[in-house]
Amino acid sequence: MENVFNARFRFKSNQKKSKENDPDKYLIIDFSPEEAKKAATWLIEKATEAELGGSTIRKYTSRTEFAEVPGFTVFGSYWENGESGTIAPRKD
């Protein structure tokens, strides 16, 4: 199968963590202009499908309480040794 778009991501440690709620790491996603346009088109298509009843996600209000709401999930692949990976959804 062919990917809809391909975006590399990496995690960078927060070297300037000063508050308790500051993140330990940042997620950085790199897009070329071409891949960004493909991703934007795909996101709009998936959002429209979800609005029309195509898929749902769980929206949690507590650890055990949630509601099913329109939405979709994006999966990626992660390689721990380099703290990087890709987001590359497959074409249907």
H or E element in which residue 44 lies: helix 33-51
Domain ranges across the chain: 7-87
Q: Report d(CA 85, CA 23) in Å as an integer.
A: 19
Report pLDDT digits (tens) over 10-39. 888 888 888 888 888 888 999 999 999 999
What is the residue-averaged pLDDT of the chain?
89
Global pTM? 0.75
**Res. 83: pLDDT tops 80:** no
Write the CA distances from 5 to 16, 41, 52, 65, 88, integer angstroms: 33, 10, 23, 34, 6
Report pLDDT digits (tens) over 68-77. 999 998 888 8
Mean per-residue pLDDT, 43-68: 93
